[in-house]
């Protein structure tokens, strides 16, 4: 095996980005991902500017015998975007976005964030389903599923993916679409980074905004049982244009008041959004009512302050079979034991177009109507790490009697057992066959890994 220095010199003439080593001044800043709990040190960071650089990075890793990680937005809470002693393929400099307003499509490079994508598409009053936190990367979110405010109306992000240019394990570049390599296209829609690196992604767009109805209403925690019952019952009759998420959280104003909040989005005409959310605004009434007309881009950035970069984070998440009164009480009890004001318990409601797609239509098995619960533990003091992780695990364990089998791959913790079996279920056998075809050596393995047959 050649030395790292010799191999970097070999790659440098064609590589147009930056190849960083631990001795470079930018290295410490670039190696860090969104979750401050993750502190890994790659041997090399390849900061790519285009697909050709991604190819060079793959070939360099092959030459050196290094394992790789791939960073788009670096938002994955389990820290799969980085790696110790391997080669991080960093797509974050790849920011190209092209919108075709006539065809209602957008093509974006793998380092684009959702806030950047939305900014360009909303110039034309267009959008596609994207993350509810604007600093999330489009590639990782889409390949793993891609929930967002538009999913009841327009499906998951992966349901709006029309094609992707993939850099494969041997350094070739192939297109994956319904007409070209359709088996690969099926697999990448939910299979995460197991099959290649998405250098660019093409999406279908829809008429949305720029103004929609959305925002938050909040109540004091002592009313949480009644509020979450109301939330559950309201979700049962929502139109496809609307999505609701509930959260148990601490007020962000420094008062340390514990709250139960309902966040909503209605992507249809403003007058219909007003009618749909009228009962939310009247119930209680809420202590805080910030629900009304809002720009689509603003709604997608509204939750960003609650998940700051460099906060120490550990999540546990899974769907519940039903949001029963007993499950609600268990969630409230768990939150009351929460040690950090930065932590949340989040309840996402799934329904509509995303839930009507057959499980076998894509690799993603998250085709359910119901509720996904996230125990999102966050803190800033490293001395609180053990306590923060313990709270998340204990709160999650208390939900055991109420859990359904489905788990979202993008929320899966790094120490989850049998991760691929848990998230891919009945689709795993087909995914393994496609993995064997496109990546028989399991080069792309720093993920929720699908083993070749």
Tokens (6 digits) for 280: 């939310």
In a domain, 434, yes or no: no
User: Of the residues 72, 90, 108, which one is the last residue of a structural domain?
Assistant: 90
Encode pLDDT of 331-374 as tens digits. 999 999 999 999 999 999 999 999 999 999 999 999 999 999 99
Q: How far apart are CA 33 and CA 50, in angstroms?
A: 21
Q: How far apart are CA 370 and CA 392, in angstroms?
A: 22
Encode pLDDT of 428-440 as tens digits. 999 999 999 999 9
Radius of gyration of the chain (CA): 22
**Contact predicate 296/336, CB 8 Å:** no
Beta-ladder partners of 362: none
In a domain, 423, yes or no: no
Q: Give yes or no for residue 442 having a pLDDT over 60.
A: yes
In a domain, 203, yes or no: yes
Q: Tell whether 254 and 138 lie within a shared domain.
A: no
In degrees rounded to 5, what are phi and psi of residue 18? Answer: -125, 135
Q: Binning pLDDT at 50, 70 and 90, where does residue 1 land? A: very low
**Domain of 318: which CATH number?**
3.40.462.20
- Residue where the block lists tokens 């689709």: 427
**Contact predicate 106/121, CB 8 Å:** yes
Task: Indicate if the alpha-carbon torsion angle 120, 123, 128, 131 is positive or negative.
Answer: positive
- State the pLDDT at residue 85: 97
**Domain of 203: which CATH number?**
3.30.465.10
User: Of the residues 154, 182, 208, which one is the last residue of a structural domain?
Assistant: 208
Q: Give yes or no for residue 194 having a pLDDT over 80.
A: yes
- State the pLDDT at residue 7: 63
Q: Which residue has the higher pLDDT, 329 or 6?
A: 329
Tokens (6 digits) for 105: 């499509």
* Domains contained in the chain, number: 3
Q: In this predicted structure, which of 4-13, 61-70, 155-164 has the lowest mean pLDDT?
A: 4-13
**Contact predicate 267/129, CB 8 Å:** no
- State the pLDDT at residue 220: 97
C-alpha distances (whole Å) from 277 to each of 6, 99, 353 are 62, 32, 20
Q: Tell whether 238 and 379 lie within a shared domain.
A: yes
**Contact predicate 203/161, CB 8 Å:** yes
Residues 6+ apart with CB under 8 A from 360: 426, 427
C-alpha distances (whole Å) from 256 to each of 52, 251, 270, 340 are 50, 6, 34, 10
Encode pLDDT of 220-252 as tens digits. 999 999 999 999 999 999 999 999 999 999 998
- State the pLDDT at residue 414: 80
Largest CA distance in the chain: 68
What is the layout of strands, in order, in the sheet containing 312-320?
288-295, 211-220, 258-266, 242-250, 344-350, 370-379, 312-320
In a domain, 129, yes or no: yes
- State the pLDDT at residue 413: 87
Domain that holds residue 237: 211-411
The number of residues making up the chain comes to 453
């Amino acid at each position: 095996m050649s030395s790292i220095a010799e191999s970097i010199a070999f790659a440098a003439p064609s590589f147009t980005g930056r190849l960083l080593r631990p001795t470079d001044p930018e290295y410490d800043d670039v190696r860090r991902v969104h979750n401050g709990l993750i502190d890994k040190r790659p041997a090399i960071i390849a900061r790519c500017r285009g697909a050709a650089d991604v190819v060079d990075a793959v070939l360099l890793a092959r030459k050196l015998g290094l394992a790789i990680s791939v960073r788009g937005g670096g938002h994955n809470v389990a820290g799969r975007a980085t790696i110790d002693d391997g080669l991080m393929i960093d797509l974050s400099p790849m920011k190209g976005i092209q919108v075709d307003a006539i065809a209602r499509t957008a093509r974006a490079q793998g380092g684009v964030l959702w806030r950047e994508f939305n900014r360009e598409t909303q110039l034309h009053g267009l959008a596609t389903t994207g993350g509810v936190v604007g600093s999330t990367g489009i590639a990782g979110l889409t390949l793993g599923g891609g929930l967002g405010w538009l999913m009841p109306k327009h499906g998951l992000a992966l349901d709006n993916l029309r094609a992707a240019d993939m850099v494969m394990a041997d350094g070739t570049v192939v297109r994956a679409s319904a007409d070209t390599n359709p088996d690969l296209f099926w697999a990448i829609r939910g299979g995460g980074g197991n099959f290649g690196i998405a250098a660019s992604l093409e999406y279908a767009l829809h008429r949305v905004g720029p103004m929609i109805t959305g925002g938050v209403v909040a109540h004091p925690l002592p009313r949480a049982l009644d509020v979450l019952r109301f939330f559950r019952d309201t979700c049962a009759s929502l139109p496809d244009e609307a999505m609701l998420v509930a959260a148990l959280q601490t007020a962000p104003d420094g008062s340390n008041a514990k709250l139960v909040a309902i966040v909503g989005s209605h992507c249809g005409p403003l007058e219909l959004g007003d009618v749909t959310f009228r009962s939310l605004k009247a119930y209680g009434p809420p202590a805080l009512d910030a629900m009304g007309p809002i720009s689509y881009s603003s709604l997608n950035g509204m939750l960003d302050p609650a998940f700051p970069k460099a906060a120490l984070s550990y999540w546990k998440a899974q769907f519940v079979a039903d949001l029963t009164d007993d499950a609600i009480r268990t969630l409230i009890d768990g939150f009351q034991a929460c040690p950090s004001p930065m932590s949340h318990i989040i309840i996402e409601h799934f329904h509509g177009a995303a839930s009507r797609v057959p499980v076998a239509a894509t690799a993603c098995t998250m085709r359910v109507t119901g509720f996904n619960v996230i125990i999102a533990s966050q803190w800033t003091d490293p001395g609180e790490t053990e306590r923060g992780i313990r709270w998340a695990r204990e709160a999650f364990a208390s939900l055991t009697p109420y859990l359904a089998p489905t788990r979202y791959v993008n929320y899966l913790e790094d120490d989850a057992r049998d991760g691929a079996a848990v998230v891919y279920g009945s689709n795993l056998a087909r995914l393994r066959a496609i993995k064997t075809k496109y990546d028989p050596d399991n080069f792309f393995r720093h993920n929720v890994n699908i083993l070749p047959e």
